[in-house]
Chain A
Amino acid sequence: MNVKEYRRQVEARLAARASVSAAAPVATKPPEQTWKEAIAQLSDSSASAETRIHAIQLLQAGTFLGRQFDPFRADYIAALRAAILDADISLRHSALDVLVDFGDEFARQKLTESLRGIGAQLLPAAAALGLLARDDHGSASEVARDVFTNSTDVPTRAQAVRVLGSDPTASGFLARIMNDKDEFREVRRAGAVALRNLDPQLFRTKAAEILDDHTDFKDIKATVGGALERAGQALDRFRSARPSDDTK
């Protein structure tokens, strides 16, 4: 395309932009004042959950300015900690999402207590485990094993397996999950991903067993086969595997 013509087209649009920018939302106050007001909104338990979640979004965007947000950080975290005990689950989720990624021990402790049933239930088990799995904090492994043992919910079991992917002692457990054809396939997939990352050699051994098993499911073969293929392994066996019906 002719660049000069393109500029003419864009400049025609630029002429129209005056009205666009006039209609566009613009900041009318310094961000510091906006953040101060947002912290007050987030801390106001009488405000709607929607308003308080919007405040989190705005404040969280402020953290992307680094030093400029520093004077507000402590008050922001204090307001988030209060919000995780609010009655509204969406607000709790939003607040926990931020705090966990800040490495906030208070939030982790509350989530763990929630999963153990010794504190307020902050989030459903799968969501809570997902947050706990965001770093390789070893303390989550024990509760994840308990949850796995006591839950038949597929997402919850898969999340528990995911947490155990950070536990160096869990290789054998994960291998059993990955190769257990009686287990839900989403859980098996979580086991495969976790084992591949935790113990690649054991994963290769167990993956080969799956690829050689003509009764195993096509999708779990695709998962382990894809991993091996990306790792440069030959997959002739996978390609010749029979299709399987997917019933579980």
Chain B
Amino acid sequence: MRVEITIPATDAQDRTFLTWAPVKGSARLADAAGAADPTLVMLRNAGAAGGGRVAFDKQRSDEGTPELELQLPANGTAVDFWVAGEFMEPSSTYGDTAIEAVVAGNPVGRRELMVRIRKNAVKLSGAERDRFLLALGKLNDAGQGPFKGFRDTHVAAAQDEAHGFPAFPPWHRAYLLDLERELQAIDASVALPYWRFDEPAPALFAPEFLGMPPADAAQGDVIVFPHGHALEFWRTDGSDSIERRPRYDIAGAPPQSVGGQPAVISQDATLALGTNYADFRLMEFSPHGRAHTSFLGPIGKISKAAKDPLFFMLHANIDRLWARWQWENQRTDPANAATFSLGGSLAGPRPGLLGHNLGDTMWPWNGEKTPPRPTFDPPRGAFPASATVGRPGPHPTVRDMIDYQGVHGEDTLGFDYDDVPFELHSGVTV
């Protein structure tokens, strides 16, 4: 007897990647020799100790269980079930999570997988950290790799696509996802970690991770990595290395207040900015801008910040804060003005707020170079397809970035954060 387990979030190499969002899988008796009709099959977790875990249900829900019984017909007809990563139980490596099919206590089918989740950078295992850095180093390839397109996207001439206007959060969500998919093309087990900038994160600035400059500022702000470090040959804009000097003691977090002004305000203070998007978007200045300017170096300038890998982890935290705000306030329906609105936008400098309306496609993935879009060749092409999810498609819109978990029934964007669950809203019955 053999049970075949099929899950759509599976790539061409037969590797399955889940997030917290449930996907519809199926199980069938591929070999019914000796089987009753129907046969009672139990699906259960069977991964490594300490590995990721999944939750099952017979319907799309946020209340899955560690086990699920299915009645499988002997004629091989597939029976559907729903499966998701169990919240707070992510994987650390591919295959540390597994679904096992059991009949009368005997294993009759198995599928290994990964609950691939974006994690707090300081909580990564050494192996997770090193896989991330190695993929990043390869993406940069000493200045010759695809990372150049990312660096050339976040530049002064593209400022209005992404900053100071309503699509600041959606645009950066797309930008991060684009990078993450490129990293996953190098190593599918990598998820983009985030820098929780309102908490101490000395491990992030340890030599084996993102490093620190010499203690003596007279020696310059260049980070000297250990010999053989994956970022040792990092190069952008024709210049070697990464420059960054914190303006705060990295044993702690950046200050919440500087000179009597709000600086890198806490997560709680950020989430308390308001329950409407127009209020929450004030986070673009504080904590976002203030987190950038907690350092000397390119990270503190809008046109240069993407030279520094820290940029992507800083912005992963910005995106996580948005995701968290969305979950706390159930702000996933784009039709709800509290979820997304143009309120508070500057009048004048951006005709029609092009690129910031829900239905607008976003540069550079739309390939446009007619003003007010940047007029140079877009540094990135069409948005990369995922091996495991169907969204957002080649030319993402602002709307595409909002319901990233597919709460309202669409496919997910294929990422989740370790402390932001998937939860159906009351009234959503998809």
What sequence of 0s and 1s flags, for each residue 358-393 of chain B, a beta carbon within 8 Å of any chain A beta carbon?
Answer: 000000000000000000000000000000000000
Contacts of A222 in B (CB 8 A): 227-228
Answer whether residue B280 sits at the interface, using C-beta atoms and an 8 A cutoff.
no
In the complex, what's the smallest C-beta–C-beta distance from A155 to chain B, in angstroms?
4
Answer whether residue A118 sits at the interface, using C-beta atoms and an 8 A cutoff.
no
Q: A10-B328, A67-B164 are in contact. Are A127 and B302 (CB under 8 A)?
A: no
Q: A31-B285, A193-B232, A230-B137 are in contact. Are A25 and B346 (CB under 8 A)?
A: no
Distance of A132 Cα from B198 Cα, bound (Å)? 32
Contacts of B240 in A (CB 8 A): 133, 162, 165, 190, 193-194, 197
Distance of A136 Cα from B142 Cα, bound (Å)? 15
Q: A130-B243, A135-B237 are in contact. Are A60 and B300 (CB under 8 A)?
A: yes
B 72-100 contacts with A by CB, 8 A: 86-89
In the complex, what's the smallest C-beta–C-beta distance from A93 to chain B, in angstroms?
7
Contacts of B421 in A (CB 8 A): 1, 3, 6-7
What sequence of 0s and 1s flags, for each residue 308-351 of chain B, a beta carbon within 8 Å of any chain A beta carbon?
Answer: 00000000000000000000100000000000000000100110
Q: Which of A3, A25, A64, A231 contacts B302 (CB 8 A)?
A: A64
Distance of A205 Cα from B300 Cα, bound (Å)? 38
Total number of B residues with any Cβ neighbor in A under 8 Å: 77
Would you call B293 and A61 a contact (CB within 8 A)? yes
Answer whether residue A78 sits at the interface, using C-beta atoms and an 8 A cutoff.
no
Answer whether residue A129 sits at the interface, using C-beta atoms and an 8 A cutoff.
yes
Contacts of B422 in A (CB 8 A): 3
Q: A134-B298, A197-B240 are in contact. Are A60 and B256 (CB under 8 A)?
A: no
Would you call A219 and B227 a contact (CB within 8 A)? yes
Q: Which of these binds chain B: A51-59, A141-149, A176-184?
A: A51-59
Q: Which of B233, B256, B300 contacts A98 (CB 8 A)?
A: B300
Q: A24-B268, A65-B284 are in contact. Are A1 and B301 (CB under 8 A)?
A: no
Contacts of B265 in A (CB 8 A): 24-25
Distance of A136 Cα from B238 Cα, bound (Å)? 6
What sequence of 0s and 1s flags, for each residue 195-225 of chain A, a beta carbon within 8 Å of any chain B beta carbon?
Answer: 0110010000000000000000001101101
Would you call B219 and A61 a contact (CB within 8 A)? no
Would you call A97 and B328 a contact (CB within 8 A)? no
Distance of A245 Cα from B385 Cα, bound (Å)? 50
What sequence of 0s and 1s flags, for each residue 289-301 of chain B, a beta carbon within 8 Å of any chain A beta carbon?
Answer: 1101110111011
Q: Which of these binds chain B: A13-21, A80-88, A107-115?
A: A13-21
In the complex, what's the smallest C-beta–C-beta distance from A43 to chain B, in angstroms?
15
Known: A20-B272, A123-B218. 11 other contacts (CB 8 A): A1-B88, A3-B62, A3-B421, A6-B87, A17-B271, A27-B285, A31-B285, A64-B293, A97-B300, A101-B304, A134-B237
Contact surface of A with B, Cβ cutoff 8 Å: 1-4, 6-7, 10, 13-14, 17, 20-21, 24-27, 31, 34, 51, 53-55, 57-58, 60-70, 90, 93-94, 97-98, 101-102, 123-124, 126-127, 129-131, 133-136, 155, 158-159, 162, 165-166, 186, 189-190, 193-194, 196-197, 200, 219-220, 222-223, 225-227, 230-231
A–B pairs, 6, beta carbons within 8 Å: A60-B300, A67-B350, A155-B219, A165-B240, A196-B142, A197-B143
